[in-house]
Structures are given as structure tokens and as C-alpha cells.
Amino acid sequence: MSGPTKSARELWGGHFATDAAPLMERINASVGFDKRLWAEDLRGSRAHARMLADRGIVSAADRDAILAGLDAIAREIEEGRFVFDPKLEDIHLNIEARLTERIGEAGRRLHTARSRNDQVATDMRLWVRGAIDRAEALLRALQAVLIDKAERHAADVMPGFTHLQAAQPVTLGHHLLAYVEMFGRDRDRFASARRRSNECPLGAAALAGTSFPIDREATARELGFDRPMANSIDAVSDRDFALDYLSAAAICAVHLSRLAEELVLWATPQFGFVVLPEAFTSGSSIMPQKRNPDAAELVRGKSGRVIGHLVALLTVLKGLPLAYSKDMQEDKEGLFDAADTLELCLAATAAMLDGARFDLARLRAAAGLGHTTATDLADWLVRVKGVPFREAHGIAARAVRRAEERGCQLDELEDAELAAIDPRLEPAVREVLGVDRSVASRTSLGGTAPVRVREAVAAARARFLGEGGS
């Protein structure tokens, strides 16, 4: 096994008379985590080498040696033969030292007209771009599961809640489509973050640009960026692209957590709305009857990690003067963990939902509990009898109180009882007191009527999955 052997100070520290203290090496080294950037670092170095040769800054022979050496290093890393040396601080110096060891003097020319400051900023933008693309694909897959479930349950009634109290009947399909919309906005936030981050820092050098006649447009183009960053100080000193990713990830994690919380509640015997797949639950070491919704609970819990990483990076950056400071090395571990956590939670949620089975009878029975059609009674008085809504609201409230006194549902009140509450409550009002009629009546755009839910499913397939659209 071969690898770099020199210390970082031998590469950049010619005016230092002493070695770094062991504690300094420990606090300064980042290769233990930034080695994840190796593919992005090699990609940026290849583009930089080609540009240097095209501009006559290095020879074609040096370029070819550099490119061959970088390809060899890629194979070493992929095969697990590369030695990541913490004495060389970071992934950039590790690769540069190994390149020089392999190809000699040409390897020393690669760093012409660039700094580790613009190098790492470029690597990080490339990495974040990839993380955004992975999140987008996973969100789309989760939406596909939800849309399929929503279509299957477009007409299956359940209780809708406000304050976790029974409010009005809705359909299960309508409820699930709410999350489809949330995750759609998450996808849009990631897409927006990708668009803003897609500018190339390479060529900004340490902070002031370079005196070499480089072609920043060429390197930006080769690396798939829309354009070079306009200001060299900004290019190396900000990490708002990482904040953009973390912000979108944190909001997405909150949406996942809300969905997970509902699954946790719904899987209890007290609710009994859903049975989660055994593969995503666990048992108890002492209570043999238990099926704990551990996957959902972990998705709920892991949202805190993602939110915390956003707050941590905001705190790191908030007091930094321009341009680069070593504090910015703290942008990576939290970012990497946030991406890993979010991707795991997205995949687990999709798989868990795909195997979930809803108890439709239990949902239907619960849909009528808590006098959830009281608003329908009030609306009937307004629509049929011309009663002002506030007056109708009071009449419906008195009907609810009477039902509570009797321990029955609204539709179980006798005709005489309804008439005693208000003579305008004729027997015809019963046509709106059933949960099926209630949901069927909610035909406004975005409403829960099954006909609207089926339309919304088709629209969601076109908007989010690219299926069936014109």
C-alpha cells in the first residue's frame, strides 16, 4: 500500500521553524471527514489542469501527466489502497502530495493559479449539488408512494382533525395528498437552492483572484456550473449554498417528522388507523404483545439532527469577517450528516408507507365520532333555509349539545328533537349528516370530495411525476 508521506508544513510551511503541536494536528486535520470530497476534488483538478494547459500556463505534457496521475489516484481510492494521512490535514493536500509522489515535478504545477480556498469551495458546491439531486430523487419516490395510496383511498372516509380533535370528515386520499404537496414544495426548495449554488468559485484563488491568464468560464462550463462566481472574495468566504441545502433539508425533515408522528399515533390500538409493516417495527424485550413503530419514531427523532446542523452552521458563519477563516472547516461534518440522515429518512418513510395497511372500517367508524358533521348542519341551514351563518352556527351547536346529553351522534337525534332545537331543522337535514354525504359535498377546488381527490391525484401525477400530463 502506498500513499503520501510528507507533512503539510513541508508542502506549504517553508517559513515555519517548528513542527505543529500534536494537539494542533488533531484540531486542524479534516481529512477524516472531508475525504468524502475526493471525487469532487479530482473532478475540479482535472478541469483546472485542462484549463491551465489550454491557456499555456502549463505544458500539454504536464497536463497529460497530471490527468493520468489523478486517474490512478481515483483507482487507488476506489480500491481502498489510498492512505489518507491526517498529517496532510485535508483531502486536497493528500491528493496533491500523492500526485507529486507519482508523477514528480508536474504534480507541483497543478496548484498554479488556485488556492485551497477556491478549491474547497468548488468541491463543496459540487458535493451539495449531488446531495440535492439525491434528495430530489428520493422525494419524488416518496411522492409516488403517497399518490398511489391517495388514489386507492380517494373515497375512503376518515376523521379530519384540528387541535387533534375530530373536526370534519375527510377522505384518506385527501389527507395523504396534503403531504404530497408539502414534499412538492420541498423539491422546489431544493431546486431553488441548486440554481443559486450553481456558480463556480474556481479561479478566485485565496480571495483576490490571480495574475495568471486563466479562463474561469472554461472551468465553470466543464464542471457543469452556469457561470463563474462574480466576486472572488464572495466565492471563497460564504457558505450560503450549504445553508440553502440545510434549510431545505430541515424543512423537509419537519414534514417527514409530522408524517411520522401521525403514523406513530395511528398505529396505536387507541387509534387503530394503520398497521405498519413488520419489517419497520420492533418488539419489546418484556412485553410480547408490542409492535413498536420504531422506524417512524426514528424519522421523527432524526429531524432534530438535521435542524441542529442548520443552526450550527448559521452560528459558525454569523460572526466571520471576510474572507476565509478556518472556522469554515466546520461546515462539512454537519452537512454530511444532515444529508445522510435526510436520505435515510426519505427512503425509510417511502418503504414504510408502501407496506402500510390502513384499517378502513376503523377510519370510517371514527369519521363520525365527535359530531364531525355539525358544520354540514349549519351549512344546510344557510344554503336551504337562508339562515345567516352565525345564527346557523349557534343552532348547530345546540344540536351538538343535545346529542352529547343523549350520548348519541347527530344523525341519531329524533326528528322531534331537531325540530325542538329549531323548527327549520326539518327531516331533510339528515341528507347532510352522514360522513359520505359530508365529504361528497366538499367540491370546492382543493376540497375533500372524492371527485376532487381523483382530479388532484391526476394533477399530482402530472406535476410531480411527469405522468399523464399534456
Percentage, residues of the chain above pLDDT 70: 96
Work out the average pLDDT over 273-283: 90
Percentage, residues of the chain above pLDDT 90: 85
At residue 16, the pLDDT reads 64
Which of 2, 282, 284, 325 is flagged as catalytic?
284
Phi, psi angle pair for 171, to nearest 5°: -100, 150
Would you say residue 4 has pLDDT above 60? no
Q: How far is CA 255 from CA 186, 250, 261, 310, in A?
A: 9, 9, 10, 16
For the record, the C-alpha cell of 291 comes out as: 409492535
Mean pLDDT over each residue of the chain, to the nearest integer: 93
pLDDT in tens, 164-222: 999 999 999 999 999 999 999 999 999 999 999 999 999 999 999 999 999 999 999 99
**pTM for the whole structure:** 0.92
Would you say residue 388 has pLDDT above 90? yes
Active site residue 284: yes
Cβ–Cβ under 8 Å, residues 156 and 358: yes
Residue that wins the pLDDT comparison between 223 and 434: 223
Which of 15, 163, 285, 444 is flagged as catalytic?
163
Q: Are strands 157-162 and 274-275 parallel, antiparallel or unpaired?
A: unpaired
At residue 17, the pLDDT reads 61
- Assign 29 a pLDDT band (cuts: 50, 70, 90): confident
pLDDT in tens, 342-360: 999 999 999 999 999 999 9
* Residue for grid cell 507529486: 100
At residue 227, the pLDDT reads 98
- Assign 3 a pLDDT band (cuts: 50, 70, 90): very low
Work out the average pLDDT over 99-113: 96
Would you say residue 20 has pLDDT above 80? no
At residue 9, the pLDDT reads 57
Cβ–Cβ under 8 Å, residues 460 and 180: yes
